[in-house]
Each structure stands twice: as structure tokens, then as C-alpha cells.
């Protein structure tokens, strides 16, 4: 028997029914805040599925995890509609309008021959969009604290470099490494050392700055290295 093929419209109706008075008790209880951890977890699982696809060519898991992220988007939109805030159609329309507005080299008469020019145009358009709007956050505070720390560090340093002052040179990274090497030479590990903690923090910031300059994903690089370590030791176990 052929499996039923659900449509986008079917899916929207399924979520509406789950949230309805005669729907699922768990789904009815959910709020934006209660679903917040779910979105973070599902995004991480999509990233994992992409890694698996890249290594193995297996795409089934990626398809499933993308569906789970879509579920989160539709659930939040449905809750917002019940609150009288906005609808899923509003979400789709707004992001579509944003893509058209931020790609004038495709939908307008602006020229952009390279990805560098595209990103420059993108940043300029974002700046124009914010002009005249009341800002609820400072430029640095608007970078979400919920981001992984290494990713957030790169984004903060990028804005600091653009808005305030150029970041330190690579030579400073070497100096910080020399400081920490001198500190731990012959040192007996303790539960916590404030000076060492500060030094390690400085090193992490320096690494974040290098990653920012060379447009490297720290999270991805570290995740890949952790996988290499796991494979190395499990292979020899």
C-alpha cells in the first residue's frame, strides 16, 4: 500500500488540530518559552545531520531533522496567531520580502560579481534598515547570548572591529600563549585559579579573533577535531 503523501497545507492543519481544544494536551500547553530549548536542540540536530550527510552521503536523517525544525517554526507561528500577534503567512511574507530587499543584485539593478560584494551590500542594507528605528539593544548586546560562546565571540569581535576599534594583531596571540606557558610550568593543578582562568579566556578571545579574520567557523572546527579524537581512541580501544 502506497504511503500517503502529506502536503504543506495538510501539515498546517495537523498543527492547528493539535493545538485545538480537542487536540493533544501536551501541544496545547506549549508556549514560546517552553519550546525554546526544542528549537535549540533541533537546530543542533540539523547541523549533525548535515555532518553525517557530508561524510556518508546519507540524506534521510537530514530530511527528517529539517522537518523537525519546520515543526518548531509552525508551532511558534500558530501560538503567535492564537495570541493575535502574527500568522505563519506573515512569517513567510516577511522573510521573502527580506530576501528580495537584500538581494538587489538579483531582484534590482545593483551589481555584485563576487560573494564579498554580496556581503558588503547585505551589511549596508541591514544598516539602512535599522536607521531611524528604536533599538531595544546596543549593537553588541543584540548578538544573542544564546549562541554558543565561540560563535558569539566571533560575532562580537567583528562588530567591535567595525564599530569601535581594530582588534589586536596576531602577535598578541603569541604573547598570550607565552604567558600561559609560563604560568602553568611546574604548576600543580588546582580546582580553580582565577589568574589562569583569565589567561585561558584571553587565549580563547585571541583564537576567536583569528577565526573572525579568516572567516573560519570555530564551532565546526572544534567539533570536527573532537570527532577525530573520538575516532582515534575508539579505533585503538
What are the tens digits of pLDDT across the range 37-96?
Answer: 899 889 989 988 998 898 899 999 999 999 999 999 999 999 999 999 999 999 999 999
The pLDDT-based confidence of 136 (bands split at 50, 70, 90) is low
Residue 130 domain-assigned (yes or no)? no
Give the separation between CA 37 and CA 30, rounded to whole angstroms: 12
Question: Half-sphere exposure of 169 toward its Cβ, with a 13 Å CA cutoff?
Answer: 2
Q: What is the pLDDT of residue 163?
A: 79
User: Quick one: average pLDDT of 155-159?
Assistant: 87
Residue 78 domain-assigned (yes or no)? yes
Q: End of a domain among 31, 62, 90?
A: 90
The pLDDT-based confidence of 132 (bands split at 50, 70, 90) is low
Q: What is the pLDDT of residue 186?
A: 72
* pLDDT over 70 at 235, yes or no: yes
Cα angle, residue 70 at apex, residues 76 and 151 outer, rounded to 5°:
85
| Same domain, residue pair 72 and 160 | no
Q: What is the pLDDT of residue 134?
A: 65
Q: End of a domain among 55, 90, 125?
A: 90
Which domain covers residue 37, as residue numbers?
Answer: 1-90
Query: Looking at the 3D structure of the chain, how many domains does it have?
Result: 2
Residue count of the chain, please give it: 237
What are the tens digits of pLDDT across the range 207-218?
Answer: 888 888 888 888
Q: What is the pLDDT of residue 73?
A: 97
Question: Half-sphere exposure of 104 toward its Cβ, with a 13 Å CA cutoff?
Answer: 13
Task: Mean pLDDT check: name the lowest of 36-45, 107-116, 121-130, 152-161.
Answer: 121-130
User: Quick one: average pLDDT of 204-232?
Assistant: 86
| Same domain, residue pair 80 and 165 | no
Q: End of a domain among 56, 90, 124?
A: 90
Q: What is the pLDDT of residue 1?
A: 65
Q: Which residues have C-beta within 8 Å of that of residue 5, sequence separation ≥ 6?
A: none
Residue 117 domain-assigned (yes or no)? no
The overall average pLDDT reported for the chain is: 87
CATH number at residue 75: 1.10.287.1080
Residue 107 domain-assigned (yes or no)? no
Contact between 30 and 75 (Cβ < 8 Å)? yes
Residue 113 domain-assigned (yes or no)? no
| Same domain, residue pair 147 and 83 | no
Residue 120 domain-assigned (yes or no)? no
Q: What is the pLDDT of residue 131?
A: 72
Residue 133 domain-assigned (yes or no)? no
What are the tens digits of pLDDT across the range 1-47?
Answer: 678 899 999 999 999 999 999 999 999 999 999 999 899 889 989 98
Residue 105 domain-assigned (yes or no)? no
Q: What is the pLDDT of residue 83?
A: 97
Amino acid at each position: 500500500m502506497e504511503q500517503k503523501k502529506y502536503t504543506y497545507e495538510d501539515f498546517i492543519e495537523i498543527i492547528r488540530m493539535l493545538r485545538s481544544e480537542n487536540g493533544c494536551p501536551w501541544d496545547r500547553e506549549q508556549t514560546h518559552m517552553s519550546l525554546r530549548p526544542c528549537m535549540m536542540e533541533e537546530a543542533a540536530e540539523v547541523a549533525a545531520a548535515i555532518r553525517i550527510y557530508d561524510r556518508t552521503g546519507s540524506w534521510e536523517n537530514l530530511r527528517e531533522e529539517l522537518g523537525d525544525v519546520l515543526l518548531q517554526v509552525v508551532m511558534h507561528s500558530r501560538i503567535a496567531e492564537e495570541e493575535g500577534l502574527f500568522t505563519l503567512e506573515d512569517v513567510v511574507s516577511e522573510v521573502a520580502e527580506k530576501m528580495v530587499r537584500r538581494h538587489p543584485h538579483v531582484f534590482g539593478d545593483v551589481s555584485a560579481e563576487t560573494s564579498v560584494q554580496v556581503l558588503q551590500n547585505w551589511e549596508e542594507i541591514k544598516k539602512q534598515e535599522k536607521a531611524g528605528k528604536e533599538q531595544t539593544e546596543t549593537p553588541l548586546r543584540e548578538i544573542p547570548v544564546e549562541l554558543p560562546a565561540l560563535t558569539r565571540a566571533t560575532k562580537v569581535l567583528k562588530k567591535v572591529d567595525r564599530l569601535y576599534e581594530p582588534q589586536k594583531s596576531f602577535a598578541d596571540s603569541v604573547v598570550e600563549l607565552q604567558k600561559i606557558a609560563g604560568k602553568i610550568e611546574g604548576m600543580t593543578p588546582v580546582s580553580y585559579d582565577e589568574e589562569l582562568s583569565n589567561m585561558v579566556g584571553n587565549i580563547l578571545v585571541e583564537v576567536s579573533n583569528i577565526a573572525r579574520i579568516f572567516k573560519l567557523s570555530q564551532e565546526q572546527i572544534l567539533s570536527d577535531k573532537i570527532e577525530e579524537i573520538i575516532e582515534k581512541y575508539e579505533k585503538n580501544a
